Amino acid sequence: MVEVPLGKDKIVVRDLSIYYGNVAALKNVSFSVKDREILGVIGPANSGKTSFLRAMNRLNDLDLSSRVTGSILLNGKDVNREMDAEEVRKKVTMVFALPLPLPMSIFDNIAYGPRRHGTRDKKRLEEIVEKSLKAAFLWEEVKDRLSSSAMKLSGGQQQRLCIARTLAVDPEVILYDEPCSGLDPISTAKVEEAMFELKARYTQILVTNNVKQAARVGDRIAFFLMGELVEIDEADKIFTAPRDKRTGDYITGRFG
């Protein structure tokens, strides 16, 4: 793997709180994410990890009970106050725990986003599909059956297809919400390989309950607990000398 130097702050989170009704899922969280960094986010259930991802690309807008205070800045712009939801979701895409291919061909799955954003030229769409599938390490496996249904792919292939689909709209940030939770070790390794290769261009945030995966993939690690950010630091420091005892207890399996 080629080391890619981290850039300046891509995302700045300031005093972020997220509520569902009167329940606080996240409480006054502040941190930053560097350009081209893979930030691993770990913590037990109900710690606020997924709520943060949903706030990052405005999916919380779809839940009428949710309320967000504080700010998330992307390239210095507040995603809630200075950008509309469609613009945010084009720049910040998400890969979910379960692969969600569209019930159409492999080609049309990848071309769907670019078409929605106005790309109609067939040659240009073909270029985007090939480039995206190569970046997600799927091209060689599917290049001869692009017209076949995406639903026929294996689970691991479907997840890499979903990654390729996010890349097709040329985002700046990729969010992963437990992307390997239902995959076998070989498929997981291929997804992780894709993440490493994507570091050259994209900022990535990986929520995972697999602390070993976070250690393998993350440049830095954020540990969330009961809606609070306990600590954030370089991966080797988090896993060898965490500052907070609760972090060490979680990593070593004493709770969670």
Weakly modelled stretches of the chain, pLDDT under 70: 1-7, 255-256
Q: Measure the CA–CA gap between 150 and 30, rounded to whole angstroms.
A: 39
Res 142: pLDDT: 97
- Is the distance from CB of 179 to CB of 11 less than 8 angstroms? no
Q: What is the CA 225 to chain-centroid distance, rounded?
A: 19
Does domain 9-251 match CATH 3.40.50.2300? no
Res 146: pLDDT: 97
Helix (H) or strand (E) holding 76: none
- Is the distance from CB of 132 to CB of 108 less than 8 angstroms? no
Q: Residue type at 236?
A: D
Res 2: pLDDT: 40
Other beta carbons within 10 Å of 102: 16
- Is the distance from CB of 17 to CB of 68 less than 8 angstroms? yes
> Where are the domains positioned within the chain?
9-251
Helix (H) or strand (E) holding 175: strand 173-177
Res 1: pLDDT: 42
